[in-house]
Amino acid sequence: MPDPAFSHHPPAVRVRHARVSLGHVPVFADLDFTAEAGRFTGVLGPSGVGKTTLLRLIAGLIPGADIGDERGGSLSGCIAWMAQKDLLLPWLSVIENVRLGARLRGEGDGGREKARALLAAVGLAERANDRPDTLSGGQRQRVALARTLMEDRPVVLMDEPFSAVDPLTRLGLQDLAARMLAGRTVVFVTHDPLEALRLGHAVYVLNGEPATARAIELPDAPWPRAADAQGVLAAQAAILRALAPEAAS
């Protein structure tokens, strides 16, 4: 069920000639990266290659790069962010965590009904008034997803959003994310080749120092791809080869 409140035409995300150094180490020297409008784009890569840096760059959290939509327009105000940690505030109830953006922008009590509806959509309606520390890891991640959707932005950036939960819960969360975020431009970073293959309309592997992005050929199965769909296993092997060429040969 795509969020009915979301009806705008989402922009594509373009990164052109990005140059980023952390300290004296060049992370990107001349990186080009495109995420198509309304599609899920997965980014894989070895640890420390700059996956999170790429997301932070797109989110405008790192200055100094040419970031924009397909017409060169700004993405500021278009982006919702979902980090690796769920970042739920322990002192707020579940529903107030979902409404965090409204609280931070001083919008008062607005959006409580919408927050309730989103919590129901992620299956946590009855936990709205509980504190986050009473939830399981998977439930916390679903609250974080509801908080991301509450922002109702056309572009959603996710940094290893489901890495902290067990594989079975992860599969369920991937289906939920696919359902709830469909129609938006989603860029997600992951360590899990299967997650990239299940959710990605396009998948890139970042590699090298400074890093460059390389597209992976994807199996022709209906999206979101089932874990046991035709060709997923072979594509997984191709991703592992691209991630660590020397180890796979």
Partner 1 sequence: MIRRVGAVLILVALWSLAWALTGRLDFILPPPWTVAAALWEHRDLLAEHGAITLAEIALGLVVGGGMGVLAALSLALWRPAALWLWPLFVATQALPVFAIAPLLVLWLGYGMASKIAMAALIIFFPVASAFYDGLRRTDPDLLDLARTMNASKGAVLRHLRVPAALPGLASGLKVGAAVAPIGAVVGEWVGSSAGLGFLMLHANARLQVPLMFAALLLLAVMAILLHAAISACLRRALPWVHDTLDVQPPARD
Could you list the residues that contact partner 1 (CB under 8 A)? 56, 59-61, 77, 79-81, 83-85, 87, 89-91, 100-101, 103-106, 131, 133-137, 151
Pick the closer one to partner 1 by CB: 80 or 235: 80
Pick the closer one to partner 1 by CB: 4 or 63: 63
Shortest Å, Cβ 101 to partner 1 = 4
Shortest Å, Cβ 237 to partner 1 = 33
Concatenated DSSP letters for the chain?
A: ---TT--SPPPPEEEEEEEEEETTEEEEEEEEEEE-TTSEEEEE--TTSSHHHHHHHHTTSS-SSEEE-TTS---TTSEEEE-SS----TTS-HHHHHTHHHHHTT-TTTTHHHHHHHHHHTT-GGGTTS-GGGS-HHHHHHHHHHHHHHT--SEEEEESTTTTS-HHHHHHHHHHHHHHHTTSEEEEE-S-HHHHHHH-SEEEEEETTTTEEEE------PSSPPTT-TTHHHHHHHHHHHH-HHHH-
Residue carrying structure tokens 């996710």? 158
Pick the closer one to partner 1 by CB: 101 or 231: 101
Pick the closer one to partner 1 by CB: 106 or 222: 106
Tokens describing residue 8: 């705008």
Shortest Å, Cβ 97 to partner 1 = 11
Pick the closer one to partner 1 by CB: 60 or 231: 60
Shortest Å, Cβ 111 to partner 1 = 13
Shortest Å, Cβ 88 to partner 1 = 10
Residue carrying structure tokens 């919590």? 119
Pick the closer one to partner 1 by CB: 144 or 216: 144
Shortest Å, Cβ 89 to partner 1 = 7
Q: Please name every residue paired with 206 in a beta bridge, in sequence order, or none if there are none.
A: 213
Shortest Å, Cβ 170 to partner 1 = 14
Pick the closer one to partner 1 by CB: 58 or 238: 58
